């Protein structure tokens, strides 16, 4: 099994950017479930709900998902690179992505 993904960053108070999650594309899923997000609990759920509605309404893909950010471009951005990882199961892939892009940055922030 494989999954493609793009990294999501959020603007920090100091004006920099930090990784807060990923947008994933699961080709093996039904079309309405192919694009999903794996995000830190700190992101704005109301903003991401609006973004997800735009993605669905405009039938955006992983390649052009960033178009749904609109006025939230100042707060969030998707890096342009599309990455791919392979694994034995969807659960394994989700865990790898969470550890690397969701929990990893949080653990680093706590350790500092």
Mean pLDDT of the chain: 88
> Tell me, what's the pLDDT at 61?
94
**Stretch 80-91: mean pLDDT:** 94
What is the pTM assigned to this prediction? 0.86
Q: Per residue in 56-81, pLDDT tens? A: 999 999 999 999 999 999 999 999 99
Domain residue limits, the chain: 2-111
The answer to whether the beta carbons of residues 47 and 72 sit under 8 Å apart is yes
> Tell me, what's the pLDDT at 104?
67
Residue 87 CA to residue 27 CA, distance in Å, equals: 14
> Tell me, what's the pLDDT at 110?
39
Q: Per residue in 19-39, pLDDT tens? A: 999 999 998 887 778 889 999
């Amino acid at each position: 099994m494989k999954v493609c993904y793009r990294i999501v960053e959020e603007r920090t108070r100091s004006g920099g950017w930090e990784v807060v999650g990923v947008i994933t594309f699961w080709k093996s899923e039904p079309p309405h479930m192919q694009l999903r997000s794996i995000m830190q609990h700190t992101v704005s759920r109301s903003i991401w709900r609006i973004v997800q509605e735009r993605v669905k309404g405009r039938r955006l893909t992983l390649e052009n998902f960033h178009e749904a950010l609109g006025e939230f471009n100042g707060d969030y951005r998707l890096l342009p690179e599309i990455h791919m990882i392979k694994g034995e199961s969807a659960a394994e892939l989700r865990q790898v992505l969470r550890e690397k892009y969701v929990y990893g940055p949080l653990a680093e922030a706590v350790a500092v």
